[in-house]
Amino acid sequence: MKDCNCIFCKIANGEIPSSTVYEDEDFRVILDLGPAAKGHALILPKEHFKDVTELDPKIAAKVGTAMKKSLGCAGFNLVQNNGEAAGQTVFHFHVHVIPRYEGGPVIAGWEPGKEDPEVLAETAEKIKDAL
């Protein structure tokens, strides 16, 4: 299924030009137009899926490994946003693969919080019940 109004469907299927770094029958991987770091890529499925609840990524590790080999980055972040509250702006499932360089800027991170073990147990049960 494709969404004719979705810009990522159009890019993934070659209707809009992009800097493609990988393509197969299911995915196109492009360089992000607004990169967080040199080599920042987006994995776009050719079919339209709104978010991760509809699809699991299959090639993120392959792209990240190629970035480490070709760009000399020390590692990479996988970033995937689901819903407006999480920062999703294009509602076509996609994964950001962001190369990380030694001494480079902090791109994604947070201060680890603390939680009471009883609250963790309650939260775990709620999630289990929803599964």
Which residues are the active-site residues? 94
How many Å apart are CA 30 and CA 6, to the nearest integer?
16
DSSP SS3 for 119:
helix
How many Å apart are CA 31 and CA 12, to the nearest integer?
12
DSSP SS3 for 91:
coil
